[in-house]
Amino acid sequence: MTSKISFFKLARDEWKKLTWVTALFGIIFGLLLPFRVLIVMAGESRYLDSIHGANLARLSTYYWEQLGFGHWEVSIFVIAAGAFCALCAFGYLHSPVKLDFYHSLPIKRQTLFAAKLVGSAFTFIAPYVICQVLVLLVGVVYKVTWAAGTAEVIASTGFGILQFLTSYAGTLLAVMLTGKMLTTVLAVGVLGCYIPMWWLLSAILKEMFLPAWAGSAYSDWGAVLRFSSPWAFALMRDLNCRKSLVNGSWQITWPKAAAVLQLILLIGALLAVSLLLYQKRKTERAGCAIAFSWMEGLIKIALVIPTSLFAGLVACEIFEDSMIWAVVFILLFGLLGGMIMEFIYRWDIRQVFANKAQLVFALAVSCVILVAFRYDISGYNTWIPGKEEVAAMAISSRYGSFGDYRVWVPKDQESHEREIDYLETENIDPIYRAAQAGVEYFSGKDLNREQLEEKGISFTRAEIKYRLKNGKEVYREYTVPLELVTESISELLEDPGYRERFYPIMRCDTDQIDYANIYLDDEMKKELAQAGLQAENGESEEESRSEENLETSEKPEEEYSEAKYAADIELPPPSDVETAEEDDTVSQWYGDSIMIDGKEDLRQLAEAYRKDLLLASYKDVMRFSGQEGSLDFWVKDQKGKANYIADYGSYGLTADFAETMKFLKDWIARETARISNSDG
């Protein structure tokens, strides 16, 4: 007899019951998709008609910008639709009256589950697909439709449905775990925020209490967020899809097949868990806050611990690491959190102190976590492996900047996640000394920073990597006297192989260099001015040196203007040149910087600088960008993955860098001669 009940008729009937949801989605997505595109097209069409006349190419550009992937506002509505739809379809689980009806029907719960799922999914799928078709029809009306774009619309529609189902399945899980609409909404919030909350909490704990923690605790925020909940996962997947106009045609970064597969697997897993919970949950739990009573205590503990810990950390921040205040805050806010949880569970103010043991346990765990971090009970900050256990080490100081190390990678190599991974060496002695100093600093044995700084000792942060003989890799960051770091690195740089790895400019392809800025010091300005004057007069370098700068006053003003434009050198007007001569101030010939962007020039500059780097001391190379005597290389990202991104690395440059200075003098001479010739 049961076989006579048609599943499809049942699903269709469920859809019919949610006609109002279909209508609502129809209005929302109608406005978001075809109506918006129509408005944009009508406006742009009128604009183009008035300015340029009919311009199909530009009109199609506007059209394709409006559709397909990359519209976060549509994605947000799709995800909200998924959550809303799940609440509407499975809201009956919160009502004992509705459950009496549905669960007495002669169908299995899994059949009802599937019928509800399919029926309610169509409340979204039908209007969404129709709206996407209407978007294409708008393109047909304006004659701007073509195959690639249509494919993108189809793909993005399919992807939108996956996003919807992901959100739906996530919300369904929350519905299955709860027995009331209010707690379902709260559960969605908890499921969405719980992992980021713990991640943020652990990051704050590390930042506050583990100074030896290597790397920014917040650096992986995007990755954590992406995998933190079904909703974030669905939303972040779409953000990976990009399209850009390249040479007049759209290039689309499609969602990767793996990403789509992940979404499908996630949907399948969430639905399977939801179905299992549906079969397990007791009908009589409808109207209760949580569908499974044994979960109440776990959820309470799981929420009170982070809540009270946050309060404790706030107290630490306000009261300057006062543990007494931190514990008071933990107890106070933990108690408050526990009371709120019990109130949500029982909806009875008289029972807010129920299950005291759970509360005491949660507060104790919070206090233990805080104390463990505060007093570094695990010895994280002061841990150092025995020298005999270490296979290799690496050190990287935050002093100075070579830019984002990930872009300084030859095209045929993969970049490491961390810069320090390029710098491993088996010469561990210099680094181990720095690490010991860092550990001593944290253990407060014999380093008092204030006293030492009064004596003129500067400190810096140094990241150290240990590769142990058992294969384990450990990273730490220490506060170490700058002098000690410099000494350690200088010692390591005596090895040419290490030197090549240490300076990013040594390992990148020269054709990755986009341009270079050179910030001149007085000595360099003087030498380069001489080279420029010599070129002006057509003399040799020696002659120029002997005659100093006398001829410069004879140059017409226009020539200097041209040179300034070409080389970004601030040449003074002729009237000022005499003054410059009188003052013997060569620096007035030049501004602060030279910019070089010629491909061949950059290659030669890099080659020359690399030769100098092999001989230069570490102290001379460490410079900050824009500082006098520095050279900034601007480098494109590796493999042209994102060629619009460039990063710089700042290196020291003095008049003692012979090869580089030789190149610069030649370059000045060439430029000056070129300008003279063009004027002549």
Q: Is 534 exposed, middle or buried (0-12, 13-18, 19+ CB in 10 A)?
A: buried
Q: Are residues 342 and 355 in contact, defined by beta-carbon separation less than 8 angstroms? A: yes
Quick one: 143 or 282, whose CB is closer to another protein?
282
Rounded to the nearest whole angstrom, what is the least distance from the CB of residue 185 to another protein in the complex?
20
Quick one: 293 or 579, whose CB is closer to another protein?
293
Q: Which amino acid is at 120?
A: S
Q: Is 538 exposed, middle or buried (0-12, 13-18, 19+ CB in 10 A)?
A: exposed
Rounded to the nearest whole angstrom, what is the least distance from the CB of residue 106 to another protein in the complex?
4
Rounded to the nearest whole angstrom, what is the least distance from the CB of residue 282 to another protein in the complex?
7
**Running DSSP on this structure, what letter comes out for residue 425?**
B
Phi-psi region of 394 (alpha: psi -120 to 50; beta: other; left: phi over 0): beta
Quick one: 354 or 508, whose CB is closer to another protein?
354
Rounded to the nearest whole angstrom, what is the least distance from the CB of residue 165 to another protein in the complex?
24
Quick one: 354 or 533, whose CB is closer to another protein?
354
Rounded to the nearest whole angstrom, what is the least distance from the CB of residue 198 to another protein in the complex?
31
Q: Are residues 592 and 628 in contact, defined by beta-carbon separation less than 8 angstroms? A: yes
- HSE toward the beta carbon, residue 450, CA cutoff 13 A: 0
Q: At what angle do helices 109-141 and 36-51 cross, to 10 degrees?
A: 10
Quick one: 99 or 236, whose CB is closer to another protein?
99
Rounded to the nearest whole angstrom, what is the least distance from the CB of residue 95 to another protein in the complex?
8
Quick one: 284 or 541, whose CB is closer to another protein?
284
Quick one: 238 or 342, whose CB is closer to another protein?
342
Q: Are residues 637 and 653 in contact, defined by beta-carbon separation less than 8 angstroms? A: no
Rounded to the nearest whole angstrom, what is the least distance from the CB of residue 278 to another protein in the complex?
11
Which element (helix H / strand E) includes 394? strand 390-397
Q: Is 582 exposed, middle or buried (0-12, 13-18, 19+ CB in 10 A)?
A: exposed
Sign of CA dihedral 198, 204, 206, 210: negative
Q: What is the DSSP string of 285-320?
A: GTTSSBSSHHHHHHHHHHHHHHHHHHHHHHHHHHTT
Quick one: 111 or 443, whose CB is closer to another protein?
111
Residue 35 in 3-state DSSP?
helix
Rounded to the nearest whole angstrom, what is the least distance from the CB of residue 96 to another protein in the complex?
9
Rounded to the nearest whole angstrom, what is the least distance from the CB of residue 352 to another protein in the complex?
18
Rounded to the nearest whole angstrom, what is the least distance from the CB of residue 357 to another protein in the complex?
17
Quick one: 93 or 311, whose CB is closer to another protein?
93
Quick one: 17 or 58, whose CB is closer to another protein?
17
Rounded to the nearest whole angstrom, what is the least distance from the CB of residue 27 to another protein in the complex?
19
Distance CA 614, CA 24 (A): 70
Q: Are residues 381 and 604 in contact, defined by beta-carbon separation less than 8 angstroms? A: no
Quick one: 106 or 556, whose CB is closer to another protein?
106
Sign of CA dihedral 48, 49, 50, 52: positive
Q: What is the DSSP string of 491-520?
A: HHHTSHHHHHHHSHHHHS-GGGEEEEEEE-
Quick one: 299 or 435, whose CB is closer to another protein?
299
Quick one: 205 or 344, whose CB is closer to another protein?
344
Which element (helix H / strand E) includes 479? strand 473-481
Q: What is the DSSP string of 16-30?
A: HHTHHHHHHHHHHHH
Taking CA atoms, 117 is separated from 93, 226, 235, 295, 424, in Å, by 13, 25, 21, 25, 55
Q: Are residues 464 and 434 in contact, defined by beta-carbon separation less than 8 angstroms? A: yes
Rounded to the nearest whole angstrom, what is the least distance from the CB of residue 4 to another protein in the complex?
4
Rounded to the nearest whole angstrom, what is the least distance from the CB of residue 16 to another protein in the complex?
9
* Pairing between β-strand 630-636 and β-strand 593-596 as defined by DSSP bridges: unpaired
Residue 393 in 3-state DSSP?
strand
Over its C-alpha atoms, the chain yields an Rg (Å, rounded) of 34
Rounded to the nearest whole angstrom, what is the least distance from the CB of residue 11 to another protein in the complex?
11
Distance CA 487, CA 504 (A): 20
Quick one: 106 or 456, whose CB is closer to another protein?
106
Residues in the chain, how many? 680
- Give contact residues for another protein (rule: CB under 8 A): 1-2, 4-6, 9-10, 13, 17, 95, 97-101, 103-109, 279, 282-284, 293
Quick one: 99 or 155, whose CB is closer to another protein?
99
Two tokens, residue 8:
């499809």
Taking CA atoms, 167 is separated from 122, 259, 597, 651, in Å, by 15, 16, 50, 50
Sign of CA dihedral 85, 90, 92, 93: negative
Q: Are residues 118 and 11 in contact, defined by beta-carbon separation less than 8 angstroms? A: yes
Query: Per DSSP, which regions of 537-599 are E strands?
Result: 593-596
Quick one: 100 or 220, whose CB is closer to another protein?
100
